[in-house]
Structure 1
């Protein structure tokens, strides 16, 4: 759990007792490339920290899947709206590579919030970061064209983006794979 502690320590100095309490509520889970982490229609049970790997958020459809988010190593991930409301998810999370995560249940997270000041602060910080990422994504879709969205994505995640299939990237920026191929040819 070294990376999750490093993540927390960048935000707040943790007392050893707080870290021990928080860490005791996380459990390790491993997913193979392509495996579903959360399925559409299931209630999200876990807030997870990606130790290693990549996760795709998408809306499954028989004809066209719609990819709308990615999360990477050393980030939190989950179907957050489902997690908060404890209602079925309208989308799926899928491991894009072999992925190892540390997960905490909804009830255990509530216990961490109630019993540690650090946990409460970290929970608020994580929620704020998820909100900011969602807001940035929405503004990007409204403000920039597909080429600009692609270039921004490539700028923010250059090494990791190379590992994601182009069809998922195209869906994420709101275009067809063929249109993405044209954009890539134009900028190279």
Structure 2
């Protein structure tokens, strides 16, 4: 759980009593490679902090689905819209590798928000960070070519190119695997 505290303390210094209160609500869970963490149609009940592993967000279809996001170690993750509204998720989350997370339930997070000032501060920071990442992604899909989106991954998210199968990268930048192969040949 030390990584969670490090994450929080990049934002705000925690008193020991605040940390102990917050940490008491988290539970460790391990997902196998390719295991579905949140299934489409189910309500997301947990906010998870990734200790190790890699998570893919996608809309299922007949073949591989439409990948639209990833989460890595030392990040919070969940089907956030479903978590916030407590309504069924319209997409799935999948562990692409064995993934170890620390989870807190929706109800327990509400207790932290209502009983601590620091919890509200941390929650607002996490929400703002998610919003900014989502906005940046949407703008790149609207403003950049597929080749520009792929090249941007080299500078902004090189871990994607090292750890994620190309079929998911292609889907993430909004093209087919064949189109990604053409772009990669042009670059080389």
TM-score between the two structures when normalised by the length of structure 2 = 0.97
Q: Distance in 2 between matches of 1:39 and 1:136?
A: 26
- Which residue does 1:85 correspond to in 2? 85
- Which residue does 1:25 correspond to in 2? 25
Q: Distance in 2 between matches of 1:171 and 1:74?
A: 24
Whether the 8 Å CA contact 2:153–2:160 is kept in 1: the answer is no
Q: Distance in 1 between matches of 2:113 and 2:33?
A: 32
Whether the 8 Å CA contact 2:56–2:93 is kept in 1: the answer is yes
- Which residue does 1:108 correspond to in 2? 108
- Which residue does 2:151 correspond to in 1? 151
Q: Distance in 2 between matches of 1:47 and 1:153?
A: 26
Gaps of 5+ in 1: none
The 1:165/1:64 distance shift into structure 2, 3 A limit, reads: closer
The 1:81/1:159 distance shift into structure 2, 3 A limit, reads: closer
Q: Deviations 1:111-143 (Å, cap 9, x if unpaired)?
A: 000111111100010010010110010011011
RMSD over aligned Cα, in angstroms? Answer: 1.0
- Which residue does 1:175 correspond to in 2? 175
Q: How much has 1:63 moved relative to structure 2?
A: 4.3
Q: Distance in 2 between matches of 1:161 and 1:126?
A: 25
Whether the 8 Å CA contact 2:49–2:74 is kept in 1: the answer is yes
Runs of 4+ in 1 over 6 A off after TM superposition: none
Mean CA deviation greater in 160-169 or 74-83: 160-169
Q: Distance in 1 between matches of 2:72 and 2:159?
A: 11
Q: How much has 1:155 moved relative to structure 2?
A: 1.6
Q: Distance in 2 between matches of 1:110 and 1:159?
A: 33
- Which residue does 2:135 correspond to in 1? 135
Q: Aligned pairs, how many? A: 188
TM-score between the two structures when normalised by the length of structure 1 = 0.97
